[in-house]
Chains A and B, each alone.
Chain A
Amino acid sequence: MTDTIVSYLANFEPFKSFLAFLTESYGANGPTIFAFLIFLVAVIIVVGALATIGGLGTYAERKISADMQARMGPNRVGPYGILQFLADGVKMLMKEDIVPKDADRFLFFIAPMLALTGVFGTLAVVPFSSGLTLTDLNVGVIYLVGIGSLVGLAVFLGGYASNSKWSMIGGMRGASQIISYEVPVVLSILAVVLLSGTLSFGGITKAQGGWPHEWFIFHNPFTFLGFFILFIGSLAESNRAPFDLPEAESELVSGYHTEFTGMRFAFFALAEYIEVFVLCGIAAALYLGGFQVPFNLGGDTIWGQLLQLGAFFSKTLALYYLVIVIRWTLPRLRVDQLMSMCWKYLTPIALFNLIGVGLWMWLFDGKSLFTLLFKSGAAAAGIH
């Protein structure tokens, strides 16, 4: 039904013989249990790595913002202050866990969990490379959208459960914003789905190529617009500036997580940073060719996998950097501006794009603009 990391590993001869050995020794359930174990390990690795990346994200954010504002940024813990996030984590663990009076304790407990669940749930389908995808669901896109929306609920419940006016408003804003921006994001994802004919991230990535002109962003004018809609929508979905209304410091103290302390706060923060990473990764996979490497260098070998990881991470981190730069460049929007941008501009344009991509598929048999424009030239040069 789906490609997973286990099915990828099953391509290799030693693994196969090991499975055969397991089957002989333990009967039919042996490989299943082993696959379970591999999944467990892979999940732990990915979650751990992503948690680290999320932590490093806070560091990067502080460092880059410091650069932009001509400050030093964190520079005490570790070389260039790189271990600052560990120190922060330790500090948060140590903090007293305060639950406000009159707070809804059940919801107050469940909200950060929900946030983290939503974010980690999405990691299951992020295509890090052709081999290292936890599971390449054939409904990956829909799964991602569904699980990802847990975060919105978490934000809202967090705001509600705190029993504080600031948190309440922040939560309301967050939830409405996330729901609204889901529309253009999903529409622009659908454009890509239309082009590639599959809902799985691996399939979408493989429908593109390693070279920029083979990426979906340059496939036709509509997808070019679509990428930016996706990117803007992702910014809004992850509550990043200039859409950081739910946690607007100058208005709402700290928004929906004002009342959270210690580990609960850390959960929220971690969820946010990992979500940014995941969304950047998704944008890269959908529009920028994901893990595709030019010439398909390395092939299926382990080096190929490393190159693919490199390609994926370089694109994703470039977008991540862009996100941070945007946060420290643009001023925050007003609520009405936010909503009108979503419903009056992004959504119609995304709809237009979707229709446009459909037309393009129909008219030009799904050939990219590049192919079309250079068709006659290529024919003249004898290239077919």
Chain B
Amino acid sequence: MFDLILFFTSAILTVIGAILVVATKDIMHACVYLLVSFLGVSGLYLTLGADFVAAIQLVVYVGGVVILMVFAVMLTGGPHAQKQNKFGIVKTALMGNMRTYTVGGLIGALVLLMMVKLYLSLFKIYTPKELPEYLPTVERIGKALITDHVLAFEISSVLLLGALIGAAIIARPRKNRIN
């Protein structure tokens, strides 16, 4: 019963959040909706018995990525940025217009088609079976990470280091910036 409630709440949060991310015109609100969606996904993970991944989802997305996004929005002029840059060129609406949404919709439909095709073939061979118990995954994940997946683990650590240093260097203000 718990998980059912959790599933529905999370699913609704996820879907509504995702749709609103696409639909809203205010990028700041979009960030908050993204947060909602992420929280929902985290809940979904819990219903799938993935406690560790859910917690990591919380830490990384809620604590990290969303705040990063919000910061980026602020540092790039915010949602109410002027519509005209220093070269005097007037830009199109930043958050999309009818034309772009049409293209987006078409591509979305294409993707939907692909997915339907894939999933239908999947469900041809899939038979639901007895679901396993919810078991703690932390230890198993830890063991798997340093045995079977140790190479990927190490590479991802190098990747993170690279991303850290790269981001810091790229974003560092320079003295002789272009005026």
Determine if B28 and A104 form an interchain contact, defined as CB atoms under 8 angstroms apart.
yes
B2 at the interface (CB under 8 A from A): yes
A-B contact pairs, 10 of them (CB 8 A): A1-B135, A1-B136, A138-B51, A138-B136, A139-B52, A142-B55, A143-B55, A146-B56, A182-B63, A199-B138
Interface string of B53-75 (1 = CB under 8 A from A): 01111110011101100110010
Interface string of B27-58 (1 = CB under 8 A from A): 01100100100000000000000011011111
Would you give the shortest CB distance from A212 to chain B, in whole angstroms?
A: 30
Known A-B contacts A32-B2, A104-B28, A199-B138; A147 and B51 likewise in contact (beta carbons under 8 Å): no
Give CA–CA (A147, B67) in the complex, Å: 13
A106 at the interface (CB under 8 A from B): yes
Q: Number of residues in A with C-beta < 8 Å to the partner? A: 31
A256 at the interface (CB under 8 A from B): no
Give CA–CA (A172, B74) in the complex, Å: 9
Residues of A whose CB lies within 8 Å of any CB of B are 1, 29, 32-33, 36, 104, 106-107, 110, 137-139, 142-143, 145-150, 152-153, 156-157, 160, 172, 175-176, 179, 182, 199
Determine if A146 and B1 form an interchain contact, defined as CB atoms under 8 angstroms apart.
no
Known A-B contacts A106-B29, A142-B55, A147-B58; A1 and B71 likewise in contact (beta carbons under 8 Å): no
A-B contact count (CB 8 A): 80
Known pairs A142-B55, A199-B138; list 16 more (Cβ under 8 Å): A1-B134, A32-B1, A33-B1, A36-B2, A106-B32, A107-B29, A137-B51, A142-B56, A142-B58, A146-B58, A146-B63, A147-B58, A149-B63, A149-B67, A153-B70, A160-B28
User: B residues within 8 A CB of A142?
Assistant: 52, 55-56, 58-59
User: A residues within 8 A CB of B28?
Assistant: 104, 107, 160
User: A residues within 8 A CB of B29?
Assistant: 104, 106-107
Interface string of B100-123 (1 = CB under 8 A from A): 000000000000000000000000
Would you give the shortest CB distance from B66 to chain A, in whole angstroms?
A: 6
Determine if B35 and A153 form an interchain contact, defined as CB atoms under 8 angstroms apart.
yes
User: B residues within 8 A CB of A143?
Assistant: 55, 58
Determine if A1 and B59 form an interchain contact, defined as CB atoms under 8 angstroms apart.
no
Q: Which residue of A lies closest to B59 (CB)?
A: A146
Give CA–CA (A138, B52) in the complex, Å: 9
Of B32, B56, B62, B71, which is within 8 A of A149 by CB?
B62
Give CA–CA (A150, B38) in the complex, Å: 12
Give CA–CA (A143, B39) in the complex, Å: 12
Of A106, A138, A146, A176, which is within 8 A of B138 by CB?
A138
User: A residues within 8 A CB of B35?
Assistant: 153
Determine if A175 and B58 form an interchain contact, defined as CB atoms under 8 angstroms apart.
no
Q: Which residue of B lies closest to A182 (CB)?
A: B63
Determine if B62 and A1 form an interchain contact, defined as CB atoms under 8 angstroms apart.
no
User: B residues within 8 A CB of A33?
Assistant: 1
Determine if A145 and B63 form an interchain contact, defined as CB atoms under 8 angstroms apart.
yes
Of B55, B70, B134, B136, which is within 8 A of A146 by CB?
B55
User: B residues within 8 A CB of A152?
Assistant: 63, 67
Known A-B contacts A143-B58, A146-B62, A182-B63; A1 and B51 likewise in contact (beta carbons under 8 Å): yes
Known A-B contacts A138-B51, A175-B71; A153 and B66 likewise in contact (beta carbons under 8 Å): yes
User: B residues within 8 A CB of A110?
Assistant: 32
Determine if A139 and B55 form an interchain contact, defined as CB atoms under 8 angstroms apart.
yes
Give CA–CA (A175, B72) in the complex, Å: 13
User: A residues within 8 A CB of B1?
Assistant: 29, 32-33
Q: Which residue of B lies closest to A150 (CB)?
A: B62
Q: Which 7 A-B pairs rank lowest in CB-CB distance, beginning with the nearest?
A: A146-B58, A149-B63, A142-B55, A146-B59, A139-B55, A138-B136, A143-B55
